[in-house]
């Protein structure tokens, strides 16, 4: 075989191998259309975004890829034990508030999640209404906690209004918020907790919300 052809084949092979290595190891970005890898990264949130886009898979994957792009610019930090304890104490106050004022409790649970995001290093600039801003925060969290974020979306449902939703629905929302907070405090590198169970309070007793 001609030497020039062999050289061309060798160069092409090196380029293909190099591109493959970058895609696999060099970045957290996932090529548009790589459905399998997007599903693995985002878990149940993948299906939620596809549904939100009217089953337009391409549009959904563009959004998820954009979330990965933003995530590449985020530098998370490890919380101290004191910070974790402070956020858990804030959550216990939210749970106690639920008995007297479920609507306010759910609103305050969003503030606890936002405070934890701030300490972890996520960007939490306000954008639009409280609901719009919270959705933006959930989008950033979904890269590391896709299943928990999807559970929040399932509990809240489309257009949930915390001022008029029934108490039982608000209880489900609060439970989903608690699971997300717990995942955030554990950190994205740790195993996720089993589906949908509300963790026990620090005194070892099941929380009031979980009953």
Summarize pLDDT for 84-131 with one digit per residue, the tens.
Answer: 999 999 999 999 999 999 999 999 999 999 999 999 999 877 654 477
Six token digits for residue 129: 């209404």
State pTM to two decimals.
0.70
Angle of CA points 125, 131, 135, to nearest 5° = 65
> Exposed (0-12), middle (13-18) or buried (19+): which is 93, by Cβ within 10 Å?
exposed
| CA distance linking residue 186 with residue 81, whole number of Å | 11
Spell out the residues 6+ positions from residue 151 whose beta carbon is closer than 8 angstroms to its own: 44, 176, 179, 180, 195, 196
Predicted pLDDT at 157: 81
Are 16 and 42 a contacting pair, CB within 8 Å? no
Q: What is the number of alpha carbons within 13 Å of residue 198 lying toward its C-beta?
A: 22
> Exposed (0-12), middle (13-18) or buried (19+): which is 86, by Cβ within 10 Å?
middle
Kindly give the confidence (pLDDT) of every residue in the chain, 211 residues in length, as a single tens digit, with 9 standing for 90 and above. Answer: 566 665 566 555 665 555 454 444 444 455 555 888 899 999 999 999 999 999 999 999 999 999 999 888 889 999 999 999 999 999 999 999 999 999 999 999 999 999 999 999 998 776 544 778 889 899 999 999 999 999 999 998 864 444 445 889 999 999 999 999 999 998 764 333 333 333 333 333 334 444 3
Q: What is the number of alpha carbons within 13 Å of residue 60 lying toward its C-beta?
A: 19
| CA distance linking residue 146 with residue 130, whole number of Å | 21
């Amino acid at each position: 075989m001609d030497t020039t052809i062999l050289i061309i084949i060798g160069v092409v092979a090196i380029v293909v191998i190099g591109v493959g290595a970058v895609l696999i190891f060099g970045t957290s970005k996932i090529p548009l259309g790589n459905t399998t890898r997007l599903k693995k990264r985002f878990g149940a949130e993948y299906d939620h975004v596809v549904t939100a886009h009217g089953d337009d898979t391409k549009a959904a994957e563009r959004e998820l890829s954009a979330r990965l792009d933003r995530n590449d610019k985020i530098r998370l930090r490890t919380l101290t034990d004191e910070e974790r304890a402070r956020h858990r104490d804030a959550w216990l106050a939210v749970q106690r508030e639920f008995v007297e004022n479920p609507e306010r409790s759910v609103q305050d649970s969003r503030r606890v999640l936002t405070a934890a995001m701030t300490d972890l290093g996520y960007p939490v600039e306000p954008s639009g209404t409280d609901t719009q801003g919270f959705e933006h925060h959930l989008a950033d969290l979904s890269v590391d906690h896709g299943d928990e974020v999807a559970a929040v979306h399932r509990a809240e449902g489309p257009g949930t209004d915390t001022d008029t939703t029934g108490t039982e629905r608000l209880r489900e929302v609060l439970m989903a918020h608690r699971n997300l907070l717990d995942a955030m405090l554990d950190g994205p590198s740790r195993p996720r907790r089993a589906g949908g169970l509300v963790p026990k309070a620090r005194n070892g007793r099941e929380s009031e919300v979980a009953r």
